[in-house]
């Protein structure tokens, strides 16, 4: 749901998940392409 909405507060939560190791690049193949692209964007540039 966080990747679907992708609001600022959702991106903040996703950054937290990434920093805690709860989500990482291994999730990308399991996601639909639009969500995978959004997660990759946060992985590549967490501050952007």
What does the pLDDT read at residue 15? 96
| Segment holding 17, helix H or strand E | helix 8-20
**Does the pLDDT at position 47 exceed 90?**
no
SS3 for 12?
helix
Give residue limits of the domains in the chain. 2-44
Give the burial class of 14: count Cβ atoms within 10 A of its Cβ; 0-12 exposed, 13-18 middle, 19 or more buried: buried
pLDDT at 37: 97
Q: pLDDT (tens digit, 9 = 90+) per residue, 7-46?
A: 999 999 999 999 999 999 999 999 999 999 999 999 999 8
């Amino acid at each position: 749901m966080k990747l679907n909405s992708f609001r600022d507060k959702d991106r903040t939560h996703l950054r937290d998940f990434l920093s805690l190791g709860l989500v990482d690049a291994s999730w990308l193949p399991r996601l639909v392409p639009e969500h995978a692209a959004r997660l990759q964007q946060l992985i590549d540039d967490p501050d952007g």
